[in-house]
């Protein structure tokens, strides 16, 4: 039986830890929030008193934290995970963080002879609970092979994206493209309506023509054509505009460091920042339709 330390039991980590416990692993759960630990215990995990209580002696450590500063803070330094786990412990960070932090932490782990992957996810809270996440994994072939069985317990699509940090590269590039085509789709539906073409008719035509894209056919930002889309539920998330803005900022930062031109990514970031300054970033990211059509 494998002992897994799971750190970060929030919206995503809570469901992921529960799936590992339900698969028969011993899951030592830790979060700064006592409520989050209590929920995890209700789902079959064991409560850890501290981060070190969870990780010392564990076979595998999984972290699901908000941002790069939290991941660096918890892995590095004398009190960190890397300095305190046993030889042979496998480290999996599934947080969405900046690429430099992911590579720095993995280098530190490898310097101690540990295997580590960055394994950010696509799919929201519902996919985390259902165990149907997509994992984009960076790390050596060996580390990927070791991590895969655990990732398969929490997800249904597991991709090896290459060396350390490449999981984060895949994540930010994908989400930058998603933000861009969501905004483009909103513009097209808003314009069609102003010009006298209703959303369903435009959808029927464009979804089988060259404007077709995922934001339109799986997540249509105009109410009506895709019944399961958040647009039919007052734009309740789903995947919030705040989360999209976080990922667009990570993409912009990475693009600047790589000297790669991302003018549309920058524009998408600026538009989602307007959602934030309007206090509407708790809406689903498709709610940017309201900014575009003037109904925010």
Question: Does position 96 bind ligand NAD by CB under 6 A?
Answer: yes
Kindly name the residue from 39, 171, 280, 290 that is annotated as catalytic. Answer: 171
Question: Does position 270 bind ligand NAD by CB under 6 A?
Answer: no
Per CB under 6 A, the list member of 5, 62, 65, 136 interacting with ligand NAD is 65
Angstrom CA distances, 290 to 195, 204, 220, 246, stand at: 17, 22, 13, 20
Task: Give the number of residues written for the chain.
Answer: 296
Question: Does position 178 bind ligand NAD by CB under 6 A?
Answer: no
The answer to whether 128 touches 16, Cβ cutoff 8 Å, is: yes
Per CB under 6 A, the list member of 46, 48, 51, 117 interacting with ligand NAD is 51
How many CB atoms lie under 10 A from the CB of residue 52?
16
3-state class of 71 per DSSP? helix
- Nearer to ligand NAD among residue 66 and residue 145 (C-beta): 66
- Nearer to ligand NAD among residue 123 and residue 265 (C-beta): 123
3-state class of 39 per DSSP? helix
Cα 71–249–36 angle (5° rounding)? 40
Q: Say how far apart CA 67 and CA 133 lie, in whole Å.
A: 19
3-state class of 196 per DSSP? coil
Region near ligand NAD per CB under 6 A, out of 18-26, 61-69, 161-169, 213-221: 61-69
- Nearer to ligand NAD among residue 31 and residue 118 (C-beta): 31
CA 145: distance to chain centroid? Answer: 21
- Nearer to ligand NAD among residue 221 and residue 225 (C-beta): 221
Per CB under 6 A, the list member of 121, 136, 226, 245 interacting with ligand NAD is 121
3-state helix, strand, coil in the chain (%, to 5): 50, 15, 35
Angstrom CA distances, 202 to 17, 179, 206, 289, 294, stand at: 43, 21, 6, 16, 20
Q: Is 171 part of the annotated catalytic residue set? A: yes
The answer to whether 207 touches 185, Cβ cutoff 8 Å, is: no
Minimum distance from CB of 290 to ligand NAD (Å)? 20
Region near ligand NAD per CB under 6 A, out of 24-32, 146-154, 160-168, 226-234: 24-32
Per CB under 6 A, the list member of 56, 76, 125, 273 interacting with ligand NAD is 125
Name the burial class of residue 152, with classes exposed (0-12), middle (13-18) and buried (19+) by CB atoms within 10 angstroms of its CB.
middle
Region near ligand NAD per CB under 6 A, out of 17-25, 52-60, 120-128, 182-190: 120-128
Question: Does position 70 bind ligand NAD by CB under 6 A?
Answer: yes
Site for ligand NAD in 228-267 (CB under 6 A): 239, 243, 246
Name the burial class of residue 130, with classes exposed (0-12), middle (13-18) and buried (19+) by CB atoms within 10 angstroms of its CB.
middle
Per CB under 6 A, the list member of 19, 89, 95, 185 interacting with ligand NAD is 95
Both structure tokens of 42? 């209700």
Question: Does position 69 bind ligand NAD by CB under 6 A?
Answer: no
Q: Say how far apart CA 228 and CA 219 lie, in whole Å.
A: 8
Per CB under 6 A, the list member of 4, 5, 12, 151 interacting with ligand NAD is 12
**Binding interface with ligand NAD (CB under 6 A):** 7-13, 30-33, 36, 51, 64-66, 70, 74, 95-96, 121, 124-125, 239, 243, 246
């Amino acid at each position: 039986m494998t002992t897994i330390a799971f750190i970060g039991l929030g919206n995503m980590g809570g469901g992921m830890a529960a799936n590992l416990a339900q698969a028969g692993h011993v899951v030592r759960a830790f979060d700064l929030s006592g409520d989050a630990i209590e929920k995890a215990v209700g789902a079959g995990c064991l409560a850890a008193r501290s981060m070190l209580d969870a990780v010392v002696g564990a076979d595998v450590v999984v972290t699901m934290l908000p941002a790069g500063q939290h991941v660096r803070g918890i892995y590095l330094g004398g009190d960190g995970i890397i300095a305190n786990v046993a030889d042979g412990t496998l480290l999996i960070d599934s947080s969405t963080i900046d690429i430099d932090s992911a590579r720095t932490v993995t280098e530190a782990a490898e310097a101690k002879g540990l295997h580590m992957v960055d394994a950010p996810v696509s799919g929201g809270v519902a996919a985390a609970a259902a165990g149907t996440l997509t994992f984009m994994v960076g790390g050596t072939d060996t580390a990927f092979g070791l991590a895969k069985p655990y990732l398969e317990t929490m997800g249904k699509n597991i991709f090896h994206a290459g060396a350390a940090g490449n999981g984060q590269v895949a994540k930010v590039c994908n989400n930058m493209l998603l933000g861009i085509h969501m905004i483009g789709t909103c513009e097209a539906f808003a314009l069609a309506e102003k010009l006298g073409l209703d959303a369903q008719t435009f959808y029927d035509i464009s979804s089988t023509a060259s404007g077709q894209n995922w934001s339109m056919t799986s997540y249509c930002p105009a109410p009506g054509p895709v019944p399961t889309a958040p647009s039919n539920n007052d734009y309740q998330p789903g995947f919030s505009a705040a989360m999209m803005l976080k990922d667009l900022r990570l993409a912009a930062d990475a693009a600047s460091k790589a000297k790669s031109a991302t003018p549309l990514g920058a524009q998408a970031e600026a538009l989602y920042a307007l959602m934030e300054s309007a206090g509407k970033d708790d809406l689903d990211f498709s709610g940017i339709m309201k900014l575009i059509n003037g109904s925010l």
